[in-house]
Chains A and B, each alone.
Chain A
Amino acid sequence: MSYAYLFKYIIIGDTGVGKSCLLLQFTDKRFQPVHDLTIGVEFGARMITIDGKQIKLQIWDTAGQEAFRSITRSYYRGAAGALLVYDITRRDTFNHLTTWLEDARQHSNSNMVIMLIGNKSDLESRREVKKEEGEAFAREHGLIFMETSAKTAANVEEAFINTAKEIYEKIQEGVFDINNEANGIKIGPQHSPTNTSLPLSGSGSSQGGGCC
C-alpha cells in the first residue's frame, strides 16, 4: 500500500507492563488477556492519516527483561519514535524509567520523539503511581505523556497518533533529515519531495541500508 511517510517506532519498558498488548490493541483493535511473553523483538504495522497524508507506522515491540537489552538496543538507532511504557499498578516499573530513558537517549538519534505511557489505567483500584507523577516525570525530561489502557483501548490510538503528529511536525520544521533512513523515517513511493533527486521512491525496500 502506498504511503507518504513511514515512521519507525520502538516500544520499550519493563517486562509485563503491557507493551505487546498496546501494540495489539493499536494494530488489531483487540485485547488478548492471555498471551505468550515476548522474546527478542516483535513487529507490527498500521496505516494512519495525519494532515491528510497516509503514514505507515512500523512498530518494533521489544522484550523487557534485562538480558534482552543487549539485543533491543540496536533498535533505538533506526527509530523516529519511542513509546516508553510503565505500569501504573507497579511502582518499580515507574522507578526504572530513568534507566530506560538514559538507555534510549544514549542509543537513539537525538530527535527521536519519546512518548511516556502509564498503562493499565483501567486498574484504578490497584494504582500505585499517580497520574501527576507521570506528568511531572514527562515534564522534567521533555516527553509527551499519556495514561492508556490496552484493555479498554483508552488513549491507545491517541498515544500512537500523537507521537506520529509530533514527528510529522518535526519533519515540517525541517528538524529531521528525511533522506537518512537511519532516522527512522522513510518517504513513501508516491511522495518524493521535489527538492531531492534521490531514488528513494519505488524500490524503497530493496535499497542498500542506511549509514549502518
Chain B
Amino acid sequence: SRNECLPAYHVEIMDLGFMTGAYKIDKNNNKREIVLPAYHQYHFKLQSRRKMRKLNCQRRSGSSSDSAITLDNVFEEDNYDIENENFESNDDFNEIVFNFVCLTLENEQLAYISNGKRIMEIIHRYYNNDEKQTQTKFGFIIDPEENATQIYLEKTLNSILNSRAKRFWQGSCNSLKCLIREYGIPNEMRAQMWLTFIQAKIANNYNIAHLLALAAETASTSSSTEPTIKQIDMDVHRTMPQHTMFADHSQGISKLRQVLIAYSVHVNPVIGYCQAMNFIAALLLIVFDGNENYALMGLICVIDHYFPPQYFDQQLTGARADQLLLKDLITTRLTYEAKKVNASMLDEIMTSVTLNWFLSLFHNALPWQ
C-alpha cells in the first residue's frame, strides 16, 4: 500500500538564494498538497516544466564507498526516466517522484532503481525507521500528521548538508566569504561563527549584561498595560510555539521576552518593537542554545547594524523599499514568471510571501540547515 504521506522534494537555486519546497501527496488521487509556504508551490509550478524535467541523477563517479546522490550530481541531462505503470503517467507527478529520488536517497544505489515499486520500498523504509521521532534535530516538535514529511525533510537536508559541510572543510575556495556563500556554515560551527561575526560588527559598544538587567527590571516593574510590553507579552507565546525552547511556560519564553524588552525599551526605543523581531530573536536563541547575552548581541547587530535604520520603523519603510526592489528584479530577471501573473497578483504575492521573508530573515521559509 502506498504510504499515506508521500512527500516530494524540490530544491532550486535562484536569485533570492536557496529555495526549497515539499509536497504531500494524497494516496488516493495523487493530489498534491504544499507543505512549505505557498510561494514555493507557485514557484514550483512555474519552474517545473522548464527545468525539472531536465534534471538527471548520476552516480558520483570517483567516490569509492558511498555513491552519494546530492545536488552535485544532479545534471541537466534529459536521459533519465522513471518507468512505472503504478503511477499515473502524469508529468508533474513523475517529476516530483523523480526529484524525490534525486535528493533523498543518499545511501541508496539509484542505479538499481528501475521502477516505482523499488522506489516505494525505499520510501517506506525511510519512514518506518523513525516513526517514533518526536522532534527534529533543530528542536521543532513534530506534528504527527506531518511526521513523515518532517523526517523526510530532515534527512534529505542533512544529506545535502553533510556533503556541503564535507566540502566546506576540504576548502575548495580560499576565502571565508566564498566558502560560506558556496557551502553554508556547517551546523556544528554556526554558533561560534555567528558570534565571531557579531563581535566583529558591534565590538564592545554595548554593555549587554547591563541592558539585560535593565530589561529584567522593566519586565518586573513596568505596568503590563504599557503598549510595547503588552505587545511583547502577547507575541512571545506566538513565536515558534512548535519549538521545544518556546513551548508553554518554558524558560525560552522568558528569555525571549527579556531580549525583546532590552532591545525595544533600552537599546533602540525609537524603533521600539516590531513584529518579526520576535522571530529573529528566537532564531538567535535557538542557535546560541538559549544564551540571552549572545541573542541580544545578535539582535542589536541585525537590526541596528545589518538592516538600514528605517527597516522596522512605524511605516516599515526599508522593508517596503526592499519589496519594490525585489519586484523590479522579478519583472526584469524572471520575465517568464512575471508574465504569468498580472501586476496586482504580483503585489499580492509580494506582500503575502516575500515581506515575511525579509522581515523575519527567512526563518520559516528556508530549511534550518
**Residue A189 lies at the interface, judged by CB distance under 8 Å to chain B:** no
The contact of B238 among A36, A40, A68, A74, by CB within 8 Å, is: A36
Distance, CA A71 to CA B350, complexed state (A): 11
A78 surroundings in chain B (CB, below 8 A) = 344
Distance, CA A207 to CA B359, complexed state (A): 31
Please choose the segment from B106-114, B131-139, B272-280 that sits at the chain A interface, where 4 or more of its residues have CB less than 8 A away: B272-280
Distance, CA A74 to CA B352, complexed state (A): 12
Distance, CA A75 to CA B240, complexed state (A): 27
Closest approach, in angstroms, between the C-beta of A141 and any C-beta of chain B?
A: 25
Query: Can you pick out 24 interface pairs between chain A and chain B where the beta carbons lie within 8 Å of each other?
Result: A15-B234, A16-B238, A34-B238, A35-B241, A37-B238, A37-B278, A39-B276, A39-B279, A43-B38, A43-B352, A65-B231, A65-B275, A66-B314, A67-B314, A68-B275, A70-B316, A71-B316, A71-B351, A71-B355, A74-B347, A78-B344, A205-B341, A210-B344, A212-B344
Would you call A15 and B316 a contact (CB within 8 A)?
A: no
A75 surroundings in chain B (CB, below 8 A) = 348, 351
**Residue B332 lies at the interface, judged by CB distance under 8 Å to chain A:** no
Distance, CA A149 to CA B274, complexed state (A): 28
Given known A42-B352, A206-B340, contact A70–B315 (CB-CB < 8 A):
yes
Which residue on chain B has the smallest CB distance to residue A41? Answer: B352
Tier of interface size on chain A: 20 to 34
**Residue B239 lies at the interface, judged by CB distance under 8 Å to chain A:** yes
Q: List 9 tightest A-B contacts by C-beta distance, closest first.
A: A34-B241, A209-B344, A37-B238, A40-B355, A209-B342, A41-B352, A39-B356, A209-B343, A16-B234
Residues of chain A in range 31-52 having any CB-CB distance to chain B below 8 Å: 34-37, 39-43
Which residue on chain A has the smallest CB distance to residue B247? Answer: A34
Which secondary structure dominates where chain A touches chain B? loop
Would you call A206 and B235 a contact (CB within 8 A)?
A: no
Further 5 A-B residue pairs, CB within 8 A, beyond A35-B241, A39-B360, A40-B359: A66-B314, A70-B316, A71-B351, A75-B348, A205-B341
Closest approach, in angstroms, between the C-beta of B139 and any C-beta of chain A?
A: 15
Which residue on chain B has the smallest CB distance to residue A43? Answer: B352
Residues of chain B in range 179-206 having any CB-CB distance to chain A below 8 Å: none
- Count residues on chain B whose CB falls below 8 Å from chain A CBs: 37
Contact with A along B317-355 (1 / 0, CB 8 A): 000100000000000000000001111110110011001
Distance, CA A107 to CA B355, complexed state (A): 21
Contact with B along A175-189 (1 / 0, CB 8 A): 000000000000000
Residues of chain A in range 64-88 having any CB-CB distance to chain B below 8 Å: 65-68, 70-71, 74-75, 78
**Residue A63 lies at the interface, judged by CB distance under 8 Å to chain B:** yes
**Residue B268 lies at the interface, judged by CB distance under 8 Å to chain A:** no
Which residue on chain B has the smallest CB distance to residue A58? Answer: B348
**Residue B313 lies at the interface, judged by CB distance under 8 Å to chain A:** yes
A67 surroundings in chain B (CB, below 8 A) = 274-275, 312-316
Distance, CA A205 to CA B238, complexed state (A): 34
**Residue A208 lies at the interface, judged by CB distance under 8 Å to chain B:** yes
Would you call B275 and A41 a contact (CB within 8 A)?
A: no
The contact of B275 among A43, A63, A209, by CB within 8 Å, is: A63
The contact of A207 among B313, B342, B356, B364, by CB within 8 Å, is: B342
